[in-house]
A and B are shown apart, each in its own frame.
Chain A
Amino acid sequence: MDTLNIAGKSYNSRLLVGTGKYKDFEQTRAAIDASGAEIITVAIRRTNIGQNAGEPSLLEYLPPEEFTYLPNTAGCYSADDAVRTLRLARELLDGHKLVKLEVLGDPNTLYPNMLETIKAAETLIKDGFDVMVYCSDDPIIAKQLEDMGCAAVMPLASLIGSGMGILNPWNLQIIIENAKIPVLVDAGVGTASDAAIAMELGCQGVLMNTAIAAAKDPVLMAGAMKKAIEAGREAFLAGRMPRKLYSASPSSPTTGLIG
């Protein structure tokens, strides 16, 4: 069985999805069901006090017993804020250790601040967390994160929410070749072919949110992403034919032609 293995647990789905930007919780749930994702990311935010007391919560639509929650540190700009956020997440989710660390460096591009990310990862790993880390597509940084003890490295394909696809497949390939831990593309996927390309490069999985949530029909796109991830994975395992400028070897027999 070809499974995704992260921090000692195996998963059948290689598509990890976010839970933000949907129209409502019903649509969130429907899209996640269509995606087949087993790991879903959530954000940690201040509770509204004194407002909407009876309002349903995300956890009612996506019970933590049914999914592996991956709390994230989206919106954190310092190692300290990221560590505090994930300690709160661990308490919120009854000691849950698997987390997505991201420390941003700039509110316009949402590009990661790798110095702060590394600082936070160090503290979190010492504190017993299994850290899946959002990072730049720098092969040296990715290796350092692995050596520190991260559970997975998750380089960006392109900027968060940009939908620009995989801008530097060569760097991704170097990261994948060097890594002994799972490499997942996180951020930048725009449509199904982007996800398939990531998997064909040898990524162990893809994490996405906007590509599904911002599609005209998010549920349909979620299904498309599921198929793309599976197709890309199988193509990777199958091993593609080499690229040639031209081939003097047609697919049909060269003998037995009439005339």
Chain B
Amino acid sequence: MIHLTINGNPRQFDVERLTVGELVEKLGLAGKRLAIERNGEIVPRGSFAEAVLDSDDKLEIVGAVGGG
């Protein structure tokens, strides 16, 4: 079981190993333009497939919205 905090909310995934790329798929965000920060560090989009998540990682997943 992998425990993550995603955008401030706790989430659990019943898998042994989870990459950022797989997480994006599981969350239904594949193909969306987004940026991800993991424990305060940017995860470059090009490395989603290799970036393996650890339990208790804190993730921020963001996009662009209207603003001034």
Contacts and interface: CB of A to CB of B under 8 A. Distances in A.
Interface in B1-35: 6-9, 27-29, 32-35
Contact of B33 (A21, A45, A92): A92
Contacts of A18: 66-68
A20 interface: yes
A59 B54 CA distance: 32
A91 interface: yes
Nearest to B37: A88
Contacts of A47: 7, 29, 32, 34, 61-63
A43 B66 contact: yes
Interface string A36-71: 000001111111011001000111000000000101
B24 to A, nearest CB: 10
Given A46-B7, A47-B62, A49-B61, A87 B42 contact: yes
A69 B63 CA distance: 13
Contact of A41 (B9, B29, B34, B67): B67
A210 B36 CA distance: 30
A117 to B, nearest CB: 17
A158 interface: no
A43 B35 contact: no
A80 B24 CA distance: 26
Select the residue from B8, B67, B68 with max chain A CB neighbours within 10 A: B68
Nearest 10 A/B pairs, CB to CB: A43-B67, A18-B68, A209-B68, A92-B35, A91-B35, A19-B66, A46-B7, A20-B66, A42-B64, A20-B67
Interface of A: 18-22, 28, 41-47, 49-50, 53, 57-59, 69, 71-72, 74, 84-85, 87-89, 91-93, 160, 207-210, 213
